[in-house]
Structure 1
Amino acid sequence: MVGAGVLGLPFAMSQLGWVPGIAAIAVSWVVTYYSLWQMIELHEHVPGKRFDRYPELGQHAFGEKLGYWIVMPQQMLVQVGSCIVYMVTGGKSLKKCAVLLSAQIGSIPQTYFIMFFAAIQLILSQTPNFNSLKVVSLIAAIMSFCYSIVASVASVARGINHHQHVRHGIRSHSTAGIVFDMFNALGTVAFAFAGHSVVLEIQATIPSTPDEPSKKPMWRGARFAYIIVAICYFSVSITGFWAFGDLVEDDVLVSLEKPRWIIALANFMVFLHVLGSYQVFAMSVFDTLESYLILNRGLNPGLPLRVAARSLFVALTAFIGISLPFFGGLLGFFGGLAFSSTSYFIPCFMWLALKKPERWSFHWTASWVSKISIVVGVLITILAPIGGLRTIIMSAKTYKFFS
């Protein structure tokens, strides 16, 4: 649940300001916590049947064809977008680590670090299924918590020493810049809440019986995860913005320099984290891609197909990441384009369609929360990609492609 998007939250705060920034993160936490509960409950909505994939639940809620085409493209955008951002994050964090440890190694262009990250993913992508990712996922989870704490503590230390020189206003000075930055920030916050797109696939790995349905242990795990999310997200966003103000980088660890070995270690933790997270988000894409090639193209299942299809996907995300290595813009663009729908309002639509709450019942009361969540999510979906795209365009003006 704690993704690399946490490193972009101080940047989002610098685009929104103190009160709107904290409010955006808090509202997103509440809305996505509620929609996560909805998805976990709906996993076994029909007795004796489990909806192990997000599109399967969409088909049950909205119909065979309509449900599939509502959910599948959105989920794939989340998965592919996450993998592109993690490709950039992995290369960028590894380069920052190298810069802090060795000036000579740090002079190597970022493109080569992204290529190195992609080479490792080519190997890891041959992992058969989600169950095979337990160790990788555990390491990634530990790393995300650790580098979040390091970022917070280092930001506090930096802020104490240099606080008097920091400006805590918003980044832009023109009206247009302020508006577009606000849109981008909403997408950045939405990107940080990305776990919904794989939650059903993860729940499918948990055994389920009539006495102990999978939703019980899954919800226990989700509650614990969201406590960690709150600790990491609020601590990193508040301390990072407090320490650097409106000059904070789109990745707060890039702004931090001292103590060098600790910041280098934190960046290496990010590298390890996104190594695992890339695979968690890519697994659904692999499943969809291979199913299409086998069922629709008549290809034979097996190792050759797996190697070819998965390697092609890794190479594609690497190419896009090398071409557009703009962490802040990518967060805002993909966060608004797809993450807000899969995490904020599609679960709410499915809940209303399947539960059909009666007036004055508990679910009827909860339906108003769903409707509010839908409004919030739709606004982010419309506005955030505009800000994210502008940020990418502005960054591309000074970037030499494939440098």
Structure 2
Amino acid sequence: MSEAFGIENEVNLSNLDDDGHPKRQGTVLTASAHIITAVIGSGVLSLAWAVAQLGWIAGPIVLLVFAVITWYSSTLQADCYRNLLTGKRHYTYTQAVRSILGGTKFKFCGVAQYSIFVGVSIGYIITASISMAAIKRAFCFHREGHETGCHTENNPFIIIFGGVELILSQLPNFHKLSFLSIIAAVMSFGYSFIGIGLSIAKVAGGSHARTTLTGVVVGIDVTRAEKIWNIMTALGNMAFAYGFSMLLIEVQDTLRPNPPENLVMKKAASIGIMVTTFFYMLCGIVGYAAFGNDAPGNFLTGFGFYEPYWLVATANFFIVVHLVGAFQVYVQPLFGFVESQCAMRFPKSKIITEEHRIQLPFSGAFNVNFFRLIWRSIYVVAMTVMAMLIPFFNDILGLIGAFLFWPLTIFFPIEMYIVQAKIRRFSSTWIWLQMLSYSCLIVSILAAVASIRGMAVSVTKYKLFHSIS
């Protein structure tokens, strides 16, 4: 009997990794695919506008610079998956920061991360509502003709999207459903390819969009001050497109331990960022060629495209479906953090800790927690109201990009690498890493200031709760 138990135990252990988790089977190919599907998303929509602010020379160069910096930072972060002193794995980005840097920096990481979750919540509601309005306008243009304004209020669509998220937010672990990632990947590739295809068709059809080497022209398209502000906002939009560092350690945690995870992850990051950058170049450059200096903030809703109307509507439908799931992916960790902290602080509170089982028709039993119901509902409603107050697509993306880029993509990976690799203070490597970090900090500050300024200017010209596409 004991011999049989020993054999069974040995078999079970052979299916486990050194941390007791089921054996990881990830490879370079699967990790690259995870990175590509995680990165390509709503960030592509603003790249034509961003390139238009910079022009044919600076636009592609800046996109490449962001790609190279992100790739370099990703390689540093790959070395932080395991704690070099203990060999212990880090399963998430925040766990790595806490283990390697600890203390104040971990708290700063938490503030940055959860601030981004709030910003992304507002940004996704705005983007989805604009796309929903764009679907209605596409059918209106087809029916009434292209000379018709077909202007559509965004607020009803903001409320509809907020209502859907209000319901989905009550489903525990909704963001962990595997089919969400598949749907998100299909949708994001779908609308991106449609946008590129429509842009190519527009150029091939003889579009004579006005483009220049330096982008929008001072005195014709914008004033000198507007040109400078728009360039800084464009930097934030490009940074937003590359904001995926928080996901890399979780991707690395799917890899087999042999060969070493950091070496495999570096290869995967190189492949993933190379493919993504090529895709971004297509969206930005072909989009700029199609629209020129008049490129809309969102190249699928600015309606340089009218026909085929059904394809335009399909692309915007893909955006909405993608963002329904993506919203939950971002907010559920915030929900979980607040709820776990409250449960630790008030363990005897029945409102916070007690689950009530309710039988729903056609859906079976469902657990309801009053605190979860109230807090999550308040959060979604507040984000929906904020989206109606500040429905400014490019400025919101620029602000989120600024918050994503320096702290999470640059600062923490560099600081963790310095500790892990025991880089000596004031050595040449340390100086180079600090110069890179401070340079990126300046870029993020400029992008953040420009985006906030853009929202402040827009608010003065905007009637509250009266956003129109």
> When the two structures are superposed, what TM-score results if normalisation uses the length of structure 1?
0.88
Aligned to 1:253: 300
Aligned to 2:179: 135
Aligned to 1:390: 453
Say which one has the larger Rg: 2
Deviation at 1:129, TM superposition (A): 3.2
Q: 1:133 to 1:402 in 2, by over 3 A?
A: same
- Superposed CA deviations along residues 258-282 of structure 1, whole A, max 9, x for unmatched, are 2211111111111111112212222
| 1:73 aligned partner, one-letter code | V
Aligned to 2:216: 170
| 2:461 aligned partner, one-letter code | T
Q: Distance in 2 between matches of 1:269 and 1:366?
A: 45
> 1:144, 1:269 within 8 Å by CA — same for their partners in 2?
yes
Secondary structure of the residue that 1:163 maps to in structure 2?
coil
More displaced 10-residue stretch of structure 1: 18-27 or 308-317 = 308-317
Q: Distance in 2 between matches of 1:323 and 1:35?
A: 36
Structure 1 unaligned regions, length at least 5: none
Identity of aligned residues (%): 28
Q: Distance in 1 between matches of 2:160 and 2:135?
A: 14
Q: Distance in 1 between matches of 2:407 and 2:423?
A: 22
Deviation at 1:220, TM superposition (A): 6.5
For 1:3-402, what aligned pairs fall within 5 Å after superposition? 3-46=41-84, 47-63=86-102, 65-102=103-140, 109-129=153-173, 132-168=176-212, 169-170=215-216, 172-173=218-219, 174-201=223-250, 206=254, 211=258, 222-255=269-302, 256-298=305-347, 299-300=352-353, 302=355, 303-304=368-369, 305-357=371-423, 370-371=433-434, 373-402=436-465
More displaced 10-residue stretch of structure 1: 161-170 or 65-74 = 161-170
Q: Distance in 1 between matches of 2:82 and 2:238?
A: 30
- Superposed CA deviations along residues 275-317 of structure 1, whole A, max 9, x for unmatched, are 1221222222122211222123443164413333333322222
Secondary structure of the residue that 1:322 maps to in structure 2?
helix
Q: Distance in 1 between matches of 2:446 and 2:325?
A: 30
Deviation at 1:337, TM superposition (A): 3.3
> 1:85, 1:331 within 8 Å by CA — same for their partners in 2?
yes
Q: Distance in 1 between matches of 2:233 and 2:340?
A: 35
Deviation at 1:66, TM superposition (A): 0.8
Q: 1:210 to 1:150 in 2, by over 3 A?
A: closer
Deviation at 1:29, TM superposition (A): 1.1
Deviation at 1:162, TM superposition (A): 4.7
Q: 1:171 to 1:396 in 2, by over 3 A?
A: farther
- State how many pairs are aligned: 396
Q: 1:49 to 1:292 in 2, by over 3 A?
A: same
| 1:239 aligned partner, one-letter code | V
Deviation at 1:37, TM superposition (A): 3.1
Deviation at 1:54, TM superposition (A): 3.0
> 1:118, 1:318 within 8 Å by CA — same for their partners in 2?
yes
Q: 1:284 to 1:95 in 2, by over 3 A?
A: same
Q: Distance in 1 between matches of 2:75 and 2:101?
A: 19
Q: 1:319 to 1:29 in 2, by over 3 A?
A: same
Deviation at 1:232, TM superposition (A): 2.3
Q: 1:209 to 1:7 in 2, by over 3 A?
A: closer
Q: Distance in 2 between matches of 1:201 and 1:80?
A: 21
Q: 1:236 to 1:52 in 2, by over 3 A?
A: same
Structure 2 unaligned regions, length at least 5: 1-38, 144-149, 356-367
> 1:55, 1:71 within 8 Å by CA — same for their partners in 2?
yes
Q: 1:19 to 1:165 in 2, by over 3 A?
A: closer
> 2:78, 2:249 within 8 Å by CA — same for their partners in 1?
yes
Q: Distance in 2 between matches of 1:142 and 1:221?
A: 20
Q: 1:367 to 1:258 in 2, by over 3 A?
A: farther
More displaced 10-residue stretch of structure 1: 45-54 or 389-398 = 45-54
> When the two structures are superposed, what TM-score results if normalisation uses the length of structure 2?
0.76
> 2:209, 2:290 within 8 Å by CA — same for their partners in 1?
no
Secondary structure of the residue that 1:254 maps to in structure 2?
coil
| 2:94 aligned partner, one-letter code | P
Deviation at 1:97, TM superposition (A): 1.1
Deviation at 1:203, TM superposition (A): 5.0
> 2:418, 2:430 within 8 Å by CA — same for their partners in 1?
yes
Q: Distance in 2 between matches of 1:308 and 1:218?
A: 41
Q: 1:393 to 1:172 in 2, by over 3 A?
A: farther
Deviation at 1:213, TM superposition (A): 6.7
| 1:378 aligned partner, one-letter code | L
Deviation at 1:72, TM superposition (A): 0.8
Q: 1:325 to 1:28 in 2, by over 3 A?
A: same
Cα RMSD of the aligned pairs, angstroms, is 2.8
